[in-house]
Structures are given as structure tokens and as C-alpha cells.
Amino acid sequence: MPFDLALYLVTDAALCAETGLEATVEAAVKGGVTMVQLRDKHASDEAMIAQATRLKALLEGSGVPLIINDRLSVAIASGADGLHVGQSDTAVQEARAALGPQAILGLSINTLAQLRDAPIAQLDYVGLGPIFATASKQDHARPIGFEGLAELVRACPLPSVAIGGLKAQHAAQVSAAGAQGMAVISAICGQPDPYRAALAFRAS
């Protein structure tokens, strides 16, 4: 499936609780979100498969891919379009072997050393960050700022998406650093109007 990293929504069930996860995703996609990642550190695999299946149905025909965070088995069982792994999750080679060549596979990168060690040929994109400290991810790595982002982008042969504390007002800096897009949780999840929150990114 072709993909566009421009505005990549990463979900947080707790933050989305008031609006509802599906309603949030639906509104955000109407507002211009181009990729959706289902991320849930607490749900059982079964609950996550059920949620992914609902999101996949909701996104049907939109051209917006559904990516699963961390859990290879959930990505496979739900028929999601891809998987995003961190440095200490399932190895990229193992994920690629299990998912096949068509799946969209992304990896989180925080340092040049991690980029050097990444199996680039097995990956479709990288997530670079965190740009800023954020309450949305526990024990996140050291923030890299826009200078760190630009340094990683220069060294990276793959499309990249910046993540961590990003708001619509940062769009120009992300694009100046050379990343293809922005990944966000709290700037859309838990906002009173996720449609307008997404629209704000596309307008800036």
C-alpha cells in the first residue's frame, strides 16, 4: 500500500476516551491525517486485534494505512497494513520475514548509532525523535530537537517522520529539517475537536 507520512496519528486510548477512539480517528482522517498507528501498551492482544479490525474497516477506501505499534501478532491477525517497532521490540528482520514484502514497516530511531545499525533495506520509513520531551511516552529517549532531527534526516536514506511533543506550529521547522511528516498523539487525541486539530497541521 502506498503511504504518505505527512500527518501520522498515533492513538492513545486513554486520551481519546471522551471522544472515543474510532470517532477520533474518523474525524482526524477527515481533517487530513494520512497514516494511523494503533498504539496501546495496556490492552490484551485480543482487545487490540478487535480494535485494529474496527479501525481497518473504518479506514477502508480512505487510502490511509493502519499501522500497529510493537505487536507483530496483532498486525498479522488484524490484517493491518503494517507494523511500527521500537529499538527493543521485535527485530526488524523477523517482522519483515513474518509480514512479507508488501507490509509497511517502520522503526523508531533516536541516535546516529541506531540509524547506522538499522536494517535499512528491510524498512519503509523511520520515526525520528523524540523532538521534545513528552508526557505521552513513558521513559522516552533523550529529546533531539530540530537540529538533531536535521542531522538524522541528512544521514537517513529512508522517508522519515518526526515525533515527540509536536504541535501544528512546528510544521515549518519539521519540514525545514527535511522530514516528510509529523507524528502526533496529544495534539490530536484528546483535543476537543480532533477534526480541527488535524486540519490545523495541514493548514500550517
CB under 8 Å to 89, separation ≥6 — which residues?
70
Using the minimum distance from each CB to ligand TZP, give the nearer residue, 100 or 135.
Answer: 135
Question: Residue 118 has what DSSP assignment?
Answer: S
CA distance 19 to 192: 8
129 binds, among ligand TZP, Mg ion, none (CB under 5 to 8 A by kind): ligand TZP
Neighbour tally for 121: CB within 10 Å: 10
In the residue annotation, 154 being an active-site residue is answered as no
What are the backbone dihedrals phi and psi of residue 104, each rounded to the nearest 5 degrees, phi first? -85, 125
Least spacing, CB of residue 69 vs Mg ion, in Å:
6
Q: E strands within 117-180?
A: 125-128, 160-163
Least spacing, CB of residue 95 vs Mg ion, in Å:
12
Using the minimum distance from each CB to Mg ion, give the nearer residue, 5 or 95.
Answer: 95
Using the minimum distance from each CB to ligand TZP, give the nearer residue, 173 or 186.
Answer: 186
Active-site residue (options: 71, 78, 108, 160) = 108
Residues known to be catalytic: 39, 108, 137
Residues within the interface to ligand TZP (CB under 6 A): 10, 129-130, 134, 136-137, 140, 163-166, 184-187
